[in-house]
Amino acid sequence: MSNLFSKNALTVLTKRYLKNDKDNGKIESVEDLFHRVASNIAEGDKVYDKETDIKKTEKIFYDLMMSRKFMPNSPTLMNAGRDLQQLSACFVLPVGDSIDEIFESIKHAALIHKSGGGTGFSFSSLRPKNDVVKTTSGISSGPVSFMKAFNVATEVIKQGGTRRGANMGILRVDHPDIMEFITSKVDHNELNNFNISVAITNEFMTALREEKEYKLYNPRSKEEQGKLNAKDVFDLIVNCAWKNGEPGIVFIDVIDKYNPTPAIGRLESTNPCGEQPLLPYEACNLGSINLSLFVANNKIDYDDLKDTIHKSVHFLDNVIEMNNYPLPQIEKLARENRKIGLGVMGFADLLFMLGVPYNSKEAESIASEIMAFIDKEAKEASINIAKKRGTFANYEQSIFKNKNIALRNATVTTIAPTGTISIIADCSSGIEPIFALAFTRNVMDNDSLPEVNSTFETIAKREGFYSEEIVKTVAKQGSVKGIKSIPEKWQKVFCVSHDIEPEWHIRIQAAFQKYTDNAVSKTINFSNSATKENIKEAYLLAYTLGCKGVTVYRDGSRDLQVLTIGSENNSTTMQETIVDPHNVKPRERPKITVGQTIKTRTACGTLYVTINEDEHGLCEVFATIGKSGGCAYSQAEGLSRLISLSLRSGIDVNSIIKQLRGIRCTSPIWEDGELILSCADAIGRVLDIFVQNRDEEDSLKNINVNFNAKSSANRTNFKVTGETCPECSSPLEMGEGCMTCRSCGYSKCS
């Protein structure tokens, strides 16, 4: 039966999900895994009928997963039927305005991260910076300072060997510290265990439209505490998002408008990827249907889809019963509201099969139609379960009471990230377009193989335009755009993320959001050349179309900065030095040298490389990064000393460059259209371009031209983030609000 799963799916299942013994030997097959999960979740039936034959339910759930039509979220696959039995991925915790409450929340977050969950927080209740603290006669340090405490705690838990902890930090736009919050991740060494989002209010959007100021409120006193110009704040959000993708924005009043239990509390935060607004101390269980398996005779098979929806809702409702929640407060509210989130994956594959381009009105119509059907049938399934098991405990205080809709679950639909489970299901992620139709997988240190999207391969063979040469070309550029041997129709259909205008990303998100109880996890991808005005237009369109939040990502924007060169150019001609291998001693460093300082970016931060010359030529290199005493700083200094020693010993600079270029770390980034593989590679690159232009009359000008030329030459084929997976070195994709590896299932958010 495991032959139903692709080789890549089996790799991910083996690496991340199958049970192993103390010596890390796998003692569970793929079939065993799904039997374990199906058997455990079927036990939920006994809560309501102790005489029921759960074997029938177990088979239904087993077939549901083995067919790849439905997959629950990762914690359920990992933990159902095992000692941990923690089955939820999404949690939100309160952050109260006292030291006791703040550190209680940090403790609870640590327990959740230890169990494999992610946490969301609203810091909007914390008094602003420099506000009075009566108990100590001191002043408050503000929300951002306390976020750093949460960040450190997450880092400690992460280093303890558990799944990576992920956080969402949210602050209302009318909080007095909002400007500090917006810029809190401009320094990439800060809050690196957080995604951050600004909670945008309707009042703010009105002030923005009318080009007016809006009020700020002190959450401690509830009194007005100043005003800000809405445009200035919005521009700052846009500028930061343009630079590195953060902060995101959530339209908090839109979210709370659809709160099913307003009498129980306000929705103030979401889980780390933004698709699940939750009350404080609430959790949600998620699962996704693989849309790519519901196409028959070039049409959507709605009968089969309906059957799968009803079985999936039954599964997710049982998860609530079988879940071992990390905190009693969470268990109480999760059982009282019984929120589930049934979503989809494989939407891009479905469009391929139907021959419909993602960036089209037809795709927008299909998105609305299919999600309306899923939401309708999921609610019908929830009503049917309520007839047997009763409505959720808070039903009498819900919006459904007045509507006379007797639901089992306060929410039923969510479009969640499906990074790893979509690999298992062998389909595209969530509602995202395909990131690349083919890519090169690193299988050994010096070997690589092209991997092609299975739907593209099937259709290309059927339509007669498949060839190994085409696969190599697509793997190189990521897209079929401009490949003459592929018919124009299929070039349009097989569009990838960066072929699609941001407007269509948003329109598809909005089409799904219209029929989704919770929210939609989606990244709006922009080309590297996108302007800040493009980002601004996207935000405004998202609000107009009724989206609950927006995450944007501009290619190469993280850690990207235009190279700048300082110091006066006084280059001299390098003279050849003969090296005696038996008696190599570095020449003395003169008191005065001349050179240039070049600023570039690396995954570790901003790198400053100073290249100096004496009367004999290049004599030293200084490279500084980060703060003195840090690991990156010390490594850069050590490498600089060795390069300087080599130069003054007569080693040819080109030999040094050759040794430095190509050294790879786990997080390469893009700099002016060129991939920087590591700090060592960055130093080698700077040396290389310096040497290429040093003999020209105006080397500063020529170095700038050289870098710009490289940028232009590379930007046209810019299709990947530049970051590679730390576990398998394959490309990371930015989608569904998180960097994810489609090869091995690694995710920066879990």
Catalytically active residues, by annotation: 271, 273, 275
- Quick check: 283 and 575 in contact, CB under 8 A? no
Taken in order 238, 239, 242, 244, the sign of the CA dihedral is negative
**Phi and psi at residue 338, to the nearest 5°:** 50, 45
Instruction: For residues 455 and 745, give the distance between their C-alpha atoms in angstroms, rounded to a whole number.
Output: 20
Q: Is 277 left (phi over 0), alpha (psi -120 to 50) or beta?
A: beta
CA atoms within 13 A on the CB side of 269: 28
- The tokens describing 356, both together, are 């419909």
For residue 684, which of 675, 672, 695, 697 has the smallest C-alpha distance? 675
Instruction: For residues 719 and 651, give the distance between their C-alpha atoms in angstroms, rounded to a whole number.
Output: 38
Instruction: For residues 274 and 200, give the distance between their C-alpha atoms in angstroms, rounded to a whole number.
Output: 14
* Owner of token pair 């299919």: 370
Instruction: For residues 440 and 458, give the distance between their C-alpha atoms in angstroms, rounded to a whole number.
Output: 19
Instruction: For residues 301 and 556, give the distance between their C-alpha atoms in angstroms, rounded to a whole number.
Output: 40
Question: Residue 530 has what DSSP assignment?
Answer: -
For residue 453, which of 429, 431, 432, 436 has the smallest C-alpha distance? 436
- The tokens describing 50, both together, are 């102790």
- Gyration radius of the chain over CA positions: 28
Neighbouring-strand partners of residue 415: 520
- Quick check: 425 and 437 in contact, CB under 8 A? no
Instruction: For residues 511 and 362, give the distance between their C-alpha atoms in angstroms, rounded to a whole number.
Output: 11
User: What value, to the nearest 5°, has the Cα angle with vertex 195 and ends 9 and 14?
Assistant: 15
Buried-exposed string 1-12: b where 16+ CB fall within 10 A, e elsewhere: eeeebeebbebb
For residue 164, which of 74, 72, 93 has the smallest C-alpha distance? 74
Strands (E), 272-388: 277-278, 282-290, 295-296, 299-300, 340-345
- Would you tell me how many other CB atoms lie within 10 Å of the CB of residue 675? 18
H helical segments located in 160-215? 178-182, 202-209
Question: Which residues, 6 or more positions from 328, have their beta carbon under 8 angstroms from its beta carbon?
Answer: none
* Owner of token pair 């124009």: 488
H helical segments located in 390-446? 399-403, 419-424
For residue 260, is the peptide bond before it cis, meaning its omega torsion is within 30 degrees of 0? Answer: no
Q: How far is CA 133 from the centre of its chain?
A: 37
* Strands 299-300 and 340-345, bridge-based pairing: unpaired
- Quick check: 288 and 70 in contact, CB under 8 A? yes
- Quick check: 626 and 601 in contact, CB under 8 A? no
